[in-house]
């Protein structure tokens, strides 16, 4: 930046900043200066009371009605607390004793509802049963607390037994269209 010569793009921002300052200085010089001379400024002479206000005057005595009004206003009244019309009174909390249902042992889910016997292979102790795509032997668990207890190849059926002693017999479903 050369200080000898300023371009118009440098002069305009500089003039934009200097112009308001120059205007304030010109106004102060023309009309007198500053906040101390403003019409709303408090002067020492204005803070003193005028002589006629400074003298004490005798007050006229109060009438009986005026004294009664003052006495009425001085009575301490304890106002009742304000209450919102939308506020409801607090209802007492009633707690009922909880009803405890009788304790039942969960009944084991019956797996015969969702299992399908699809095939039986082998004989005797070596027989296998296919239930819903899985192969089981005698004694295997086919569902929660249900075990395969018997495979009857002659009648094409199996027996499953729960731990509580319930039994279900499942047969291979044949195609009814044959």
Residue 31's pLDDT band (boundaries 50, 70, 90)? confident
Total structural domains within the chain: 2
Q: What is the pLDDT of residues 121-173, one digit of tens each?
A: 988 788 999 998 899 999 999 988 899 999 998 888 999 999 888 898 999 87
Q: What's the domain range around 134?
A: 111-171
Prediction pTM value: 0.39
Q: What is the largest CA-CA distance in the chain?
A: 136
Whether residue 77 is contained in a domain is answered as no
Whether residue 100 is contained in a domain is answered as no
Q: Name the phi and psi angles at 61, rounded to 5.
A: -65, 150
Average pLDDT over residues 25-34: 79
Integer Cα distance of 122 and 129 in angstroms? 9
Whether 92 and 149 have beta carbons less than 8 Å apart is answered as: no
Integer Cα distance of 140 and 168 in angstroms? 15
- Taking only Cα atoms into account, the Rg of the chain, rounded to an integer number of angstroms, comes to 54
Average pLDDT over residues 30-51: 62
Whether residue 69 is contained in a domain is answered as no
- Which residues touch 122 (CB under 8 Å, ≥6 apart)? 128, 153
């Amino acid at each position: 930046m050369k200080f000898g010569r300023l371009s118009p793009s440098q002069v305009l921002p500089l003039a934009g900043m200097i112009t308001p300052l120059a205007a304030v200085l010109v106004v102060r010089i023309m009309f007198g200066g500053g906040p101390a001379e403003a019409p709303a400024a408090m002067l020492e002479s204005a803070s003193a009371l005028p002589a006629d206000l400074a003298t004490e005057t005798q007050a006229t005595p109060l009438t009986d009605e005026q004294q009664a009004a003052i006495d009425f206003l001085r009575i301490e009244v304890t106002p009742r607390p304000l209450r919102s019309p939308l506020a409801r009174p607090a209802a007492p909390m009633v707690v009922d004793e909880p009803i405890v249902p009788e304790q039942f042992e969960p009944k084991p889910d019956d797996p015969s509802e969702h299992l399908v016997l699809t095939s039986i292979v082998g004989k005797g102790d070596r027989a296998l049963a296919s239930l819903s795509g899985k192969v089981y032997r005698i004694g295997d668990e086919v569902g929660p607390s249900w075990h395969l207890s018997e495979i009857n190849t002659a009648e094409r059926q199996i027996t499953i037994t729960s731990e509580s002693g319930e039994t279900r017999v499942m047969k291979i479903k044949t195609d009814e269209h044959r």
